[in-house]
Structure 1
Amino acid sequence: MKPRDDFEICIVGGGATGWAAALAAAEAGRTTAIIAPSAAFPVGRTAALFAGSIELLEQFGAMPDLASAAAPLQAMRLIDDTGRLIRAPEVTFYAGEIGLNAFGYNIPNRRLVEALSERARNSRYITIFEDTASELSFRNDCVHITTGRGTSLKSDLVVGADGVRSLVRAKTGIAVRRWRYAQSALVTTLSITHPHHSVSTEFHTDRGPFTLVPMQGNNVSLVWVERPREAALLCEIPDEEFARRAERSAHSLLGAMQVTSPRVSYPLSAGLADRFASGRALLIGEAAHIFPPIGAQGLNLGLRDVEALKTVLSLNRSRLDEGTAAEFHRLRQADVRSRTLAVDLLNRSLLTGLLPVQALRAVALSAAGGFAPFRRFLMQQGLAKTFRGL
């Protein structure tokens, strides 16, 4: 084993993506450092993880620790609630149609990070620095990293899992294109009086999606996309009034509701790095791509970044170098950029008043409802059940 200040790969940033990347590096037998300050997670925040992400968690041995908190997603129901002249038919996708017991599981963020970080603490290949990274400098043969407390590290490669304001991305000089939507997302959790039957229900409105995702018991997590002013008002009204409005927006499908966690609202934006690697640096998660909470693609895409990292680390290179990063960039191009475009088009299709766009969306969902091969294609593409890079 190398000394504590000299590593083959250093992960900057924690969260689910950062801890998963550390486990992937350790699984490849690489001496690994992770610089991850302790973090607090808002009560009630969850992540809907699809089959490919669940497979990765199973490989890391994390799923047994998550089983008691994970709620299966056995069906996905889409309802056009735009009230427009041209409306799409209601469509429900069932996991059994593609041979799965569930599309995935909805898991509390806190439990997910705890399970991954606990696995990392038990790995002989991983050294954990509960700190921030304050400085990076790139040499021909390595990367020098200085932590907030002044610890100096050296690594063959650095992986930026440090989020939207990524220090790693900034130090590599990789530009990022950002854009905002005239929307905000309100998130909270609710108890319900009618069982959800493991069905995730998404109402498409002319302001954005209103999505109820199953949790354990008679509970759901809510992502309510609204105009910014309306989202702010929804955060301020009493719990009882908010619950009534949520029930009304859900057309009482799940019965009466009660708020079970604080409501939080934030502006909707998206972003995409020009490159996903440069020199000896790789970008994963929100350091590479920023998604609105639509289609549950954000964290799932970050974990597919980790899957790609596993792939490049499995190549028989005795030493990690610029070639490793270049191969990672190549592997992530099509997946990240195609999904960024798809989520952006889906969101804009709800907001537009153009009849041809509304008609096209209605035709696509009609085909999804009635044409079995197209249904299966959409489900497989949405899940990205396996990562195929080579």
Structure 2
Amino acid sequence: MAGQQIFDVTVIGAGPAGLIAAAACARSGLDTLLIGPPANSEDRRTSALFGGSIELLKKLDVWPELRDRSEPIGGIRIVDGSTSLFRAPEVLFEAREAGFEAFGYNIPNMALTKALEAVCGPSMTRVPTGVTSVKIGADEVELTVAGDGVFHARLAVAADGRASATRAAAGIEVSSWTYPQSAIITMFHHQRRHRDISTELHRPAGPLTVVPGPGLTSHLVWIDSREEVERLMGLDDAAFGRELGQALQGLLGSLSNFSPRQSFPLSGQTARSLAKNRVVVAGEAAHVIPPIGAQGLNLSCRDAATLAEIASDAKRSGADIGGEETLSRYESARRADIGTRVFAVDLLNRSLLSSYIPGVSLARGLGLFALASSPALRSRVMREGILPAASNPLMMSAEEISPPRLDEQTR
């Protein structure tokens, strides 16, 4: 494998973002190499993927393996959990209101990566080890892997995480920032049905989100001050369950059977360039945002679908897959979508942290009041969340690929 063959595309990084990018490229007719150790088999997190991302998984032939292990998200409830005098009304976005059966599905990460690995294996060259050296030449990228194997490609995709060595080798700098918050992630059982509704409590120290899982289970993302998260992580499950139950105001009844809790500090990062020197960045090598609104992996899916479309167009036209024209198209296609989502998540989070300022609370409250009182506005917001106007690649298009309609028998 390590001869003088020059691949069209080499994807570095085998987490969900890298696997999806590699699978999309291979499906689009590109000679694809995927390099990277298998993803963490103990990852107990889930990913809420919306309509366009689900349709991409269908195109990649992995959805049949995931459908019965995933839970539909039929509604999103936003509750103002602040103590402000200008508290906003509760808003419930229902997928059926916009004509869809579900916004998307909550998918276990382990199941997702396993299904993607199964698809990637026979459709491309797979090297399950790390890259030790990246050399960028005028016509190709040379990659050395552990064990001294050497591979060549016209275009390299940096999907190797927020500390991407491939991105650094291309000379792409990043903008980084931190928040005075941490997040707790866990799964738990509860007494009352969630009715396929994801609930977001917008609290002064950050949002607390419960996403529906199979049966009487849900997945928690609790964002709070770093000091409070440290205190909560020190509680036993019974005490933690009581505190969570109080925060949820009895929404799900009694809580039990918590999976091992994980916590991490919140931060953000964006690549200052998305494509340079025969390298494009995707996934967390391109954008890191807090786990608010389930934007991270959905952005990565759009990275993958856009990359596959642009690179395959270049190959069909005889253009240089890693040349400046291809890189410029990718940069232009992804910049607005990424910038808009990063800005929106950052603004929401900072508005909660600034909720003691009357003007901020009033503005957020007026926005939620408008959504609560206008079905037409809610429908527009919902459709933008499922099929963003700033990015609509063919593999996720509204015409060929759409969220499941009400008359489809998908269950």
Q: Please, what TM-score do these two structures have when normalized by structure 1?
A: 0.96
Tell me what 1:373 maps to.
376
2:233 partner amino acid? C
2:243 match: 245
Determine if contact 1:79/1:204 at 8 Å carries over to the other structure: yes
1:122 positional shift: 2.4
- 1:22 counterpart = 2:22: yes
Distance in structure 2 (CA, Å) of the matches to 1:9 and 1:282: 10
Q: Does 1:179 align with 2:159?
A: no
1:388 paired with 2:388, answer no
Q: How many angstroms does 1:308 deviate by?
A: 0.8
Question: Are residues 1:360 and 2:373 paired?
Answer: no
**Residue 62 of structure 2 corresponds to which residue in structure 1?**
62
Amino acid at match of 1:257: L
Q: How does 1:231-380 map to 2 (within 5 A)?
A: 231-315=229-313, 316-318=316-318, 319-322=320-323, 323-352=325-354, 353-380=356-383
Residue of structure 2 in register with 1:223 after alignment: 221
Give CA-to-partner distance per residue, 1:42-69, whole Å, 9 cap, x none. Answer: 4531000000100100000111100121
The answer to whether the 8 A contact 1:71-1:198 is kept is yes
Query: 1:372 and 1:247, CA in 2 relative to 1: closer, same or farther beyond 3 A?
Result: same
Instruction: Report how far residue 5 of structure 1 moved.
Output: 4.8
Is the 1:44–1:221 contact (alpha carbons within 8 Å) kept by the matching residues of 2? no
Q: Where does structure 1 lack aligned partners over 5 or more consecutive residues?
A: none
Aligned counterparts of 2:393 and 2:221: Cα–Cα separation in 1: 32
C-alpha distance in 1 between matches for 2:283 and 2:43 = 22
Following the alignment from structure 1 to structure 2, what is the Cα–Cα distance between the partners of residues 271 and 41? Answer: 26
Paired residue for 1:198? 196
Mark the CA change 1:42 to 1:184 in structure 2 (over 3 Å): closer, same or farther: farther
Distance 1:234 1:197 in 2: 27
1:127 equivalent to 2:125? Answer yes
1:76 paired residue number:
76
Q: Which residue of 1 aligns with 2:37?
A: 37
Q: Secondary structure at 2:69's aligned position in 1? A: coil
- Whether the aligned pair in 2 keeps the contact of 1:43 and 1:262 (CA below 8 Å) is no
For residues 216 and 55 of structure 1, the distance between their equivalents in structure 2, rounded to whole angstroms, comes to: 21
Output the CA distance in 1 between the equivalents of 2:149 and 2:225.
45
Query: What runs of 5+ residues in structure 2 fail to find an aligned partner?
Result: 395-411
Contact 1:240–1:258, Cα closer than 8 Å, also in 2: yes
Determine the C-alpha separation between the residues in 1 that align with 2:220 and 2:343: 24
Which amino acid is the alignment partner of residue 215 of structure 1?
Answer: G
2:107 & 2:241 partners in 1: Cα distance?
22
User: Structure 1 CA distance, aligned partners of 2:393 and 2:60?
Assistant: 20
What is the aligned partner in structure 2 of residue 53 from structure 1?
A: 53
Across the two proteins, how many residue pairs are aligned to each other? 388
Q: Quote the Cα distance in structure 1 between the aligned partners of 2:83 and 2:198.
A: 21
Instruction: Give the whole-Å Cα distance in 1 for the aligned partners of 2:89 and 2:257.
Output: 30
Question: Aligned with 1:325: secondary structure?
Answer: helix
**Could you tell me how far 1:239 is from its partner in structure 2?**
0.8
Q: SS at the partner of 1:269?
A: strand
8 Å CA contact 1:51–1:385 kept in 2: the answer is: no
Cα contact 1:143–1:280 (8 A) shared by 2: yes
**8 Å Cα contact 2:186/2:262 also seen in 1:** yes
Amino acid at match of 2:347: L
RMSD: 1.6
Residue 149 of structure 1, CA deviation: 2.0
Superposition deviation, residue 383 in structure 1: 2.3
The offset of 1:174, in angstroms, is 0.9
Residue 246 of structure 1 and its aligned partner are, at CA, apart by 0.9
Partners of 2:142 and 2:2 lie apart in 1 by: 15
Note the 1:137-156 alignment, pairs <5 A: 137-156=135-154
